[in-house]
Amino acid sequence: MKKKFKKLVYIGAGVSAMYGVLHLIKNGYDPSQITIIDKGNDIYTRKGDEIMQGSGGCGTFSDHKTILSFSQGGEFTPKYVDLQTAERLAEQLISYIKEYHPDPSKIMYTEPTEEPQWLKNSPFTLRQSPCMHLGTDYGRQQVKNIFEFFDKVGVVQYYNTEVTDISFEFKYVIAKTSHKNQPHKSLQTINYDKVIIAGGKAGVDFLDKIIKKYNLKTEPRPSQIGVRYETDLSYFEELSKIAYDFKLYKKFDENVSGRSFCVNSGTCFVAPEITFNSISFNGHAYKDPEKYNGLVNFGIMLEVKNEIEDPYQFMKDLVSKFNKNGKGSSYSPTNRPPSKTDEGEDMPINEIQLTEFKEGYGKYANYILEFIEDLNKTFNIKDNYRIYLPEIKYSSNTVLFNNKDFSLIDHSDVHIQGDNGMSRGIWIAALSGMYVSSSFLKAI
C-alpha cells in the first residue's frame, strides 16, 4: 500500500524546525511534501550579523552550549512528554548532532560534580546538568551541513519570505517575499495539510497576532528579563572547573527568581542581537584558541511569574527604553572598558548611569542589582564588571495545546513547537520539533 504523506508547512527555519524536518526525512518522510518558510536568509547568504532569523534561527550563531536537561531551558518532561519518550528522542538527537558535526571529536561534554562548601555557604544554589558544547564556530558549520542535506533531498524552502497570516478554515498561509530574485510572486498563498508554528523568538510578534485573531486559549508564561554581565574569567575559574556552564540560582520571592545562564568563558564575546528593529544582547563562545580574550560573560535573567500580563508587550517596551540611535545600553560602576564584538568592532552601546538603569527596569532593577552584589561578595569582584542591556527572551503567553502531538486546542491541524511553544533553548526546542514529527510519522 502506497504511503500517504501530508503536506507540511513550517513557519520558521529555526532549531525546532531543523531537527523536526531532519527527524522526518531520516525516518522516510517524503521531502517534497515538506515546506520551510523563513523571513531571513538561507544558509549560503546569511551573514554573521543576521543573528535572529534565517536558516537555523538564532541557534545558528549561538554558543551551541546545550544543557542536557528536560526541565532547564523550558519544560518538556514531565509536563508534556513521558520520560521514556523524552529519553528515546534525546538519544536520537545526540546521534543527529554527531552525524552533522564537522568534527565530533571536538564536542565537549561535562558532568555535574560535587559542590564545594564555600559555594554551599553562598547566597546561590548551583543547579547542575550534563552539558554538551559544540562552540559557535563548529555549531554554525553543523547547521550548514543539515540545511545542505535538505537542499540535496528536495525539501521546499522559501527565504526572505515572511508569513503574514494563516487561514485555519481554508488551510493556507499567506507569505510575502522581500527578495526580487525569489522564483515566486511577491505575495502568495501556500496550502497545507498541517502547519507548524516554529517562529522562535523572532516570530513572537506573528504568534501574538494569531493568538488575538483566533482568540486562542493561553495560560500565563513567566517573563524572562535581564542583562548580559561581563568581567574577567579569573574570578570564575574555580567555579568553571566545577560547572562549565554554571547555573547560579536565587529565589527572591514567590514570583521572582534569578539565575545565571549561557555562560561563555575565555574565548567569548557579547553579541548584539537585532530583533523587531531593536538591539538586545546575548553571548557567543568559540572553540578557536586564537579568539581567546580572558573574559567571561553570562546572562543574569529574572523569571517573573504572575506579575506581567502581556510578556511580549512588556519586553518590547523594556527594549525601547534602552535603545537610542541604533544602539543598546551599557553600565559599569567602575567605568570598565566595553569589550569588542566577535567581529572586532566597537560594541553598539550608549553609556548610561545607574539611575537610568533603575528607572528603566523599575522594581526589577533591585533584584538584578542584588544578584550582582552577591556575585561581587562571593567571587571578590569588587564592582569590576560591565552589564549590557537589555537581555530578554521574547515570548507571548503559552498557547494551550494537546500533549499527544502539540496541536492547538480546537485546531488539530495547527501545531506549535520550540520557543513559540514550551522551550527557551536549543535542547528542548530540538526535542519538541522531533516529538511533533514523531506524531506525523505515526499517522502515515
CA 287, CA 382: separation in Å to the nearest integer?
29
- Sequential DSSP letters for 190-215: EE-SEEEE---GGGHHHHHHHHHHHT
The pLDDT value given to residue 181: 55
Beta partners for residue 132, in sequence order:
66, 109
CA 350, CA 357: separation in Å to the nearest integer?
12
Cell numbers for 348: 553598539
The pLDDT value given to residue 249: 96
Q: Confirm if 413 and 171 have CB atoms less than 8 A apart.
A: yes
The pLDDT value given to residue 109: 84
CA 143, CA 21: separation in Å to the nearest integer?
13
CA 127, CA 243: separation in Å to the nearest integer?
9
**What is the tens place of the pLDDT at every residue in 172-230?**
999 998 765 555 557 789 999 999 999 988 888 999 999 999 999 998 888 999 999 99
Q: Confirm if 360 and 309 have CB atoms less than 8 A apart.
A: no
The pLDDT value given to residue 49: 66
Residue position matching grid coordinates 538561507: 42
Q: Classify the C-alpha dihedral 319-335-239-65 as positive or negative.
A: positive
Report pTM: 0.84
Largest Cα span, the chain: 72
Q: Residue 384 CA to chain centroid, in angstroms?
A: 29
- Domains, in order of start, for the chain: 8-111+130-219+399-442 (3.50.50.60), 223-393 (no CATH)
Cell numbers for 227: 542583562
Helix, strand, coil percentages (3-state) for the chain, rounded to 5, are 35, 30, 40
Q: Classify the C-alpha dihedral 119-120-121-123 as positive or negative.
A: positive
Residues of the chain with pLDDT under 70: 1-2, 48-49, 179-185
Residue 266 exposed, middle or buried by CB count within 10 Å (0-12, 13-18, 19+): middle
Give the CA distances from residue 199 to residues 38, 195, 347, in Å, rounded to whole numbers and listed in that order.
8, 12, 27
Give, for 181, the enclosing helix (H) or strand (E).
none
The pLDDT value given to residue 111: 82
CB atoms within 10 A of CB 178: 11
CA 315, CA 320: separation in Å to the nearest integer?
9
Q: Which residues have CB under 8 Å from 373's CB, separation 6+?
A: none
The pLDDT value given to residue 423: 83
Round to the nearest angstrom and report the end-to-end CA distance of the chain: 11
The pLDDT value given to residue 51: 72
Q: Which residues have CB under 8 Å from 255's CB, separation 6+?
A: 304, 305, 306, 307
**What is the tens place of the pLDDT at every residue in 298-347?**
999 999 999 998 888 999 999 999 999 999 999 999 999 999 998 899 99
